[in-house]
A and B are shown apart, each in its own frame.
Chain A
Amino acid sequence: MSVMTSNKHSATPTPPSRKRNSLSKGKLPRWAVPATAAGAIIIGAALSTLTGFSVATFAIYSAVLFVLAATVLTAVVEGKRQGRNAMWTYLIYGSFLLALIPLASVLYTVLEKGLPGMSSHFLFTSMNGVTGAVDNQTVADGTPVLGGAYHALMGTLLITLWATVISVPVGMLTAIYLVEYGKNGPLSKAITFFVDVMTGIPSIVAGLFAAAFFGLILGPNARMGIVAAVALSVLMIPTVVRSTEEMLKIVPNELREAAYALGVRRWRTILKVVIPTAISGIASGVTLAIARVIGETAPILVTAGIASQINTNVFANWMSTLPTFIYYQILTPTSPTNIDPSVQRAWAAALLLILMVMALNLGARLIASLFAPKKGR
């Protein structure tokens, strides 16, 4: 059967002038797909103009036309299987582009609106003393915006640092228990279940928990950086446990056995063989967990409050972080009549936050490659 159909295909093209490779079937010329794309864009633009031009309809029409045309064209020239392949290929590329749009849009918007407010003054000054009157004066005089996010930057760094200090040991030890000691016992099953539950805790609930917990110990209004750090660590611990667990699981059992066979104790095997082998994955998992909580707003508001002056002591007084700074600048502008300076500060803080998260992600990659088991001869 298959021999017959393939014969039919190779028989359709006009007799070749020189001997053609009997294995190759009809193939679209190289320019065909770009040409189809160009055609689809032109027709898409035309169709879109008919119904009142907009970028969205233009993109949708062009994309649909291109996928249809390219699929049909490939199917006709190269055969049904290649046609199906083309369709899925273009659909997959399409969804990739679609997923990229929000990211690119966010980056563009934040850069566009945040860059004007970004300056060394913004980075190294707090909002202390910057009142509505100052902002009004700035707008009236057209001078650069005063006040910055230094206090919020320090708050973010300190609270996240403390959250990390709390969650990494707890999370890593939990994961070590789950993988190395608990095996599949009832306790490890229970821990796994509760870690999964913890993953789903809304961040505001974590914040309320920390606020209530410290409220019971230290009395009401116990708001300070460390309470926020505890709230964030409630959110971080499950992530750290999960990623560490996955990394420890993929350490080959042979390495543990090799160490045991050398007369190495279990805890030393874990400490010196298992963890070093998995450390790159663990480190990047931890960094991603930090990146996840660094942008939390709600739990910070209920645990650390809001501040406009620099406070580097997490154990006393209220603190701001970048997200709460953004939130407050937008929601309650410093000067209700001239909100532009506040909006500008908020966008600059947003840019700063995105840069920090990006740096963390890059850091995770760097850490992963630094710690990865060395290859080479």
Chain B
Amino acid sequence: MAKRIDVNALNVYYSKFLAVEDISINIEPKSVTAFIGPSGCGKSTFLRTLNRMHEVIPGGRVEGEVLLDGDDLYGPGVDPVTVRSQIGMVFQRPNPFPTMSIKDNVLAGVKLNGKKISRSDADSLVEKSLRGANLWNEVKDRLDKPGSGLSGGQQQRLCIARTIAVKPDVILMDEPCSALDPISTLAIEDLINELKSDYTVVIVTHNMQQAARVSDKTAFFNIAGTGKPGKLIEYNETAAIFSNPEQKATEDYVSGRFG
């Protein structure tokens, strides 16, 4: 559980368009790393390269290497499906499977892969995952009801439960709170703090207070202009990024003087 990620000189393309250029970053295990930066700077694109979700988009490809505890995700013969089962992802908008109950949503990673699981194992996995996502007490009486009947914040926690049910090493979160109200956001942030003890968490956020609250280290991405590739400007302890950044651009961004 909880592996480290090392990225070396990664370029990310959409067909011929270079979207993110020359990223090198080391992400420690059992830590929360936040990616901040203006819209369109490539932080979500970069995040999606960390579990090979980028190539799902037609024309999406990368150059460079991403090492998960030393194993290159983009090495020859690596099955993206294996990668994704070890590096889970939570999306911007909660996306529970509409045809499935709450329980089946949690078990989706197991059941969709056609693995056999005994009823008692399934029940304990559901409870463990939902407890892990701080959702158990709210849904334990309606596990057979559809997941789409939950509130937005609950749906997002359901998606987190679904992700941790496949027991990944790393959890990537792409603006997980941007569609949620402050109370639900708080619930997710508390959850991220708890997840840190078992998983490596990487979170993209537009909310700098959120980055400051939840993360150990913060990476600031920026873009020189439209059509230019996004770059990693500064990567440091979160406290340093917010109180004493080395780069002028970072300081401008975190202090709100950007643009």
Contacts and interface: CB of A to CB of B under 8 A. Distances in A.
B109 A262 contact: yes
Interface in A246-290: 252, 254-265, 268-269, 272-273, 276-277
Interface of B: 51, 53, 56, 58, 81-86, 88-89, 91, 93, 95, 97-99, 108-109, 111-114, 142, 145-146, 148-150, 159, 162-163, 166
Interface stretch (A54-62, A309-317, A369-377): A369-377
A374 B146 contact: yes
Contacts of A264: 81, 108-109, 112-113
A261 B148 CA distance: 19
A269 B97 CA distance: 11
10 closest A-B pairs by CB: A263-B85, A373-B98, A261-B89, A262-B109, A377-B149, A254-B95, A374-B146, A263-B84, A264-B112, A276-B99
Contacts of A376: 145-146, 149
B81 A258 contact: no
A183 interface: yes
B112 A259 contact: yes
Contacts of A262: 84-85, 88, 108-109, 112, 162-163, 166
Interface of A: 183, 252, 254-265, 268-269, 272-273, 276-277, 373-377
Contacts of A256: 56
23 contacts: A255-B95, A257-B53, A257-B56, A257-B89, A258-B91, A259-B97, A260-B53, A262-B108, A262-B112, A262-B163, A263-B85, A263-B113, A264-B81, A264-B108, A264-B113, A265-B113, A272-B111, A273-B97, A273-B112, A277-B97, A277-B98, A374-B98, A375-B148
A373 to B, nearest CB: 4
B142 A377 contact: yes
A178 to B, nearest CB: 14
B159 A377 contact: no
A22 to B, nearest CB: 40
A260 B84 contact: yes
B51 to A, nearest CB: 7
